[in-house]
Amino acid sequence: MDILAASTVPAHILKEALTHSSYANEHPGTTDNERLEFLGDAVLELAISTYLFQTYPHKSEGELSLMRSSVVNTVALANMARQLNLGDHLRLGRGSEISGSRDLDSVLAATFEAVIGAVYIGCGWQMAYNYICQHLAGQERDYSGKDNKSLLQEHLQSQSAESPTYCVVHTDGPDHARQFVVEVRHAGQVLGQGRGRSKKAAEQEAARAALRKL
């Protein structure tokens, strides 16, 4: 498992970061990773914001926000968790294991954030910042200058007068980390589905999926 500074992060904190709530529910006295996820989410956003602010001094606030969203989203974080093989080390309850939660984007993204929280608690800001930049810096280079919804709108308008519509089809997760699942539809067809911590973020992910499909 490629967790930077794993040897210096206290073992009990790292273990907590890899403990899903379903496991804790089945093992009384065990602490799940939701608090570390909460902290890691904030550290992640600050680190990426700092990196982008320093790397792109001539970008506007709006451009920086869009670039950040291209890096800090459920799909991107889940993919990084897969590269780090975090799912292989995640402690899950039996029910969640059977249902396939080990490979869910939402679970993997949350685990990655919890690990970031663990690195921050165990090693401090600089190590956490270095860890985040090592794994995520540079992904914003795929940013096109326009958000995914605008790009999808332009693409579809070149072929049809009908605009795409976005619909929330599911929500899950605890109150402090609510996840929205949104579908983007056009001409009676589902073009893509996205997940995010807000409707806006989920819509962008759905548009991204649709663009890949188209």
pLDDT at 112: 96
| Phi, psi (deg, nearest 5) at residue 145 | 100, -15
Q: Are residues 190 and 130 in the same domain?
A: no
Q: Are residues 87 and 106 in the same domain?
A: yes
- Residue ranges in the chain assigned as alpha helix (H): 11-17, 21-26, 34-55, 61-71, 74-83, 86-89, 94-98, 105-123, 125-136, 148-157, 199-213
The answer to the question of residue 5 being in a domain is no
Closest CA to 148 of 74, 69, 60: 69
Domain boundary among 142, 161, 196: 142
Q: Are residues 197 and 99 in the same domain?
A: no
CB contact set of 46 (below 8 Å; sequence gap of 6+): none
The answer to the question of residue 30 being in a domain is yes
The answer to the question of residue 1 being in a domain is no
Q: Are residues 76 and 30 in the same domain?
A: yes
Q: Are residues 167 and 181 in the same domain?
A: yes
Q: Are residues 90 and 178 in the same domain?
A: no
Q: Under a CB-based contact definition with an 8 Å cutoff, are residues 27 and 38 in contact?
A: no
Catalytic, out of 34, 113, 140, 183:
113
DSSP character string of 173-208? S-GGG-EEEEEEEETTEEEEEEEESSHHHHHHHHHH
pLDDT at 116: 96
The answer to the question of residue 27 being in a domain is yes
What is residue 91's DSSP assignment?
B
Rounded CA-CA distance 179/190 in Å is 20
CATH code for position 198: 3.30.160.20
Q: Under a CB-based contact definition with an 8 Å cutoff, are residues 106 and 172 in contact?
A: yes
pLDDT at 1: 44
Q: Are residues 21 and 82 in the same domain?
A: yes
Catalytic, out of 41, 183, 203, 205:
41
pLDDT at 7: 55
How many domains are contained in the chain? 2
Mean pLDDT by runs of 10 across the 214 residues of the chain is 61 95 95 97 96 94 82 85 92 91 89 96 95 89 69 82 92 82 93 89 87 76
Q: Are residues 128 and 160 in the same domain?
A: no
- Per the structure, the complete domain to which residue 207 belongs is given by 148-213
CB contact set of 140 (below 8 Å; sequence gap of 6+): 52, 67, 68, 70, 71
The answer to the question of residue 108 being in a domain is yes
Q: Write the single-letter amino acid at 20.
A: H
CATH code for position 27: 1.10.1520.10
Domain boundary among 142, 166, 190: 142
Domain boundary among 108, 142, 176: 142
The answer to the question of residue 3 being in a domain is no
- Active site includes 113? yes
pLDDT at 5: 46
- Active site includes 32? no
The answer to the question of residue 76 being in a domain is yes
